[in-house]
Structure 1
Amino acid sequence: MKVHRNEVEAGCILEKEVMGMTSTPIIPKNTVLTERHIKVLRAFNITEIEIEKTKAEGRHHRSNQLPSQADASDTDQSAGASLSEAVRDKGFINTYLESVGEFKKEFTNWQSGMPINIAKMREITLPLIKTIEQNKFLLYSLNQYSTKKDYIYHHPIAVSILSSMLGKKAGLNSGQVNQLALAGVLADCGMAKVSSTILKKEKPLTESEFQEIKLHTANGYKMVKDSPLLKPEAKLAIFQHHERFDGTGYPTSEKSDRIHLYSQIIGIADVFHAMTSERIYRNRQPVFKVLDMIRKDLFGKFDIKVVNALMQLVGDLDIGTAVRLSTGDYGEVVYTKANIYTKPIVKLNDSEELLDLSQSKDIYITEVLG
């Protein structure tokens, strides 16, 4: 919806990118606005912007909506198609943020000692997973709605979605995928037993604080071990999701095939979403840059089959997909090389030049535009 700048509040989510006198956006689409962004709007004399009806914390934004051209006329078919697409995206955003809000309530209950309601976890995650299965493009926005303050509630929802999609890539059946999704959303349930002071800390953790954080895998297992609705392998994944293929993980430093497939899938989903999200003391990094880092810097930490599944799920863009590059240029994907999914050939919009990203180590995709 279109609103005046004076009605914009921190926590609003941009529905459409904000352009100024530059060729690249001042603020990209799907950004969760902060006070700094609002100052930027004033500095560039931007008077109107388009935001989502729901704010990042899940509440509706109350404002006087300004009429948009799309609302004023439905005679143009292409505009109509764009409008229906926007409505579909709004539906996902609202559902996603409501799910995060519901998860937050459950997490608070766990902190007070209440048991985990597995059926509620299924109710929270499955609608989102079904929606993303029909529109994979929504995966690229998952990390953008997370805020530093509420990261701990966004992260399990995103890990659940990513894990289920990776499970499908790995050839698991629907029952196994559902169990994987539940294990993903509950992987960090043991964090409810960690001191709230540590969870809210804005500086790097001390060694003793990190040791307390590491207990969340064992605590999480204790919280789910008696549930008849979770299979043994899902419970094991909650315990093992920080184990690494080379034996450098925790809690028991397991190696290679002693780490269950579910554990590896949730582990790589956990790392990917964490690296691409805003956290209390770490900034978000671009999706495709993170994929390259996982492929190179974390080589040997995960089974190569699980790494390849992530590359195919997130990195394999369809021909014609519009992208923005780290250079600020816009273009579209014209060819993707086998096993080099993160580095396709891109045709630049302005010059029609073909840019082979596999030959340009310092240039990467910063945004997938659809």
Structure 2
Amino acid sequence: MPSLSVADVKPGSKIIKDVVTPFGGVLFAKGKVILPRDMEILQAFMIELVEIEGSDAEHKTTDSNKGSAKTTSTKAAAIVKDRNSTPLHDEYDKMLALIKKSYRSVTAVTLPIYELRSQLEALVIHIKDYHVLKFVPRMLNEQDYNYHNAVLSALTSYKIAQWCNYPQKDWMQAAIAGLLHDIGNAKVDPSLLHKAEPLSSGEKEEMRMHTTYGYQFLRNVTAINEGVRLAALQHHEKIDGSGYPLRLEGSQIHFYAKIVAVADIYHAMTRARAYRKAESPYLVLEQILKESFGKLDPVIVQTFIQKTTELYTGTKIRLSDGRKGEIIFTDRSNPTRPMVQVEGGKIVNLAMERELNIQEIIS
């Protein structure tokens, strides 16, 4: 069957056979016409050959290559078994590749907002399968933290806008705000973003400039609304006026920024960074609840906690003392401290045993 090296594929070419990722998911379906942005995605997934309509190239496979392909297929199958391969994950990976490309080029070229929005729309089609506390991306590494934070914040911001009963027209805008809220980090010295040691006062000030840089990047992008721009500028503002960069208060902060602030804090704290380990999602929810007193919008926080925790009766977990179990009851007045049945049948009431917490959600 005719195949072509990815390096030789041209935008406008038509795929005649599904392009499959190493994880077993369909990256591009048969019949798709390759767009310029798709080249980056193919390279990100280390795809070497694509079967293109009208190609004269012949892909000759030796017995050795067949054996190698069989081994690769077996490894891929193992990965699929260990990590869910779903349409949500497939679209997530495409979104990740595109936002990574956008970060790397935003200082030199115009942000590809139409492509970003198109891929985000493809991603949120699967929003019903996205569970905030439970979803784990397939490819996680520390260097890609900012890109994962962008995509996860987009999904979570969409959910929050939906849960808080904002008009439907705001759901996607909130998601775009989540996707682009940290775009200003593209102008920050990369060594600061990944520094393991505490930042100096001067370095902290430079890091804080990402909000201003982000607004400046988005100011001239015509296909987004002002709320998205303001979310980039204001997502570190606090309702008591103690935030930055402008020390705004309450109603001065755009509600997209208030939504994104909650999503950003949750994903920042539950992901490993160079200077600290990932924290338990339930402990993070408790810390966000504390932040709601004078810092974060209390209605958004309470809605976020109630909605994220109501889905998990029967969820298998690991406690901070190492015991495994499953959630059997969640008290709506204390949603971050459910009752858990551990191995052996014992019931642990986390509302009473405050020294324990849910350290990890297993499945």
What's the TM-score once normalised by structure 2's chain length?
Answer: 0.74
Give the gaps of 5 or more residues in structure 1: 1-50, 72-82
Distance 2:119 2:134 in 1: 20
Per the alignment, in what secondary structure is the counterpart of residue 124 of structure 1?
Answer: helix
Residue 326 of structure 1, CA deviation? 1.8
Contact 1:58 1:98 in 2 (8 A): no
Distance 2:239 2:83 in 1: 43
Residue 200 of structure 1, CA deviation? 4.0
Identity score, percent: 27
2:89 aligned with 1:98: no
For residues 265-291 of structure 1, the C-alpha deviation after alignment (integer angstroms, 9 at most, x for no partner) is 101111111111011212111111111
Contact 1:323 1:369 in 2 (8 A): yes
Q: 1:115 to 1:139 in 2, by over 3 A?
A: farther
Distance 1:288 1:144 in 2: 22
Contact 1:357 1:364 in 2 (8 A): yes
Distance 2:129 2:136 in 1: 13
In structure 1, the partner of 2:355 is 362
Distance 2:138 2:101 in 1: 22
Give 1:138-153 correspondences, 5 Å limit. Answer: 139-142=133-136, 145-153=139-147
In structure 1, the partner of 2:279 is 285
Contact 2:240 2:294 in 1 (8 A): yes
Deviates more, 1:263-272 or 1:201-210: 201-210
Structure 1 counterpart of 2:227, from 221, 230, 233: 233
Greater gyration radius: 2
Residue 159 of structure 1, CA deviation? 1.0
Distance 1:138 1:95 in 2: 16
Partner amino acid, structure 1, of 2:192: I
Q: 1:321 to 1:196 in 2, by over 3 A?
A: closer
Partner amino acid, structure 2, of 1:97: D
Q: 1:173 to 1:362 in 2, by over 3 A?
A: same
Distance 1:199 1:87 in 2: 28
Partner amino acid, structure 2, of 1:339: S
Residue 187 of structure 1, CA deviation? 0.6
> What is the aligned residue count?
302
In structure 2, the partner of 1:161 is 155
Partner amino acid, structure 1, of 2:105: N
Distance 1:332 1:305 in 2: 29
2:260 aligned with 1:266: yes
Q: 1:166 to 1:142 in 2, by over 3 A?
A: farther
Residue 188 of structure 1, CA deviation? 0.9
For residues 217-236 of structure 1, the C-alpha deviation after alignment (integer angstroms, 9 at most, x for no partner) is 12211222233321222222
Structure 1 counterpart of 2:346, from 336, 350, 353: 353
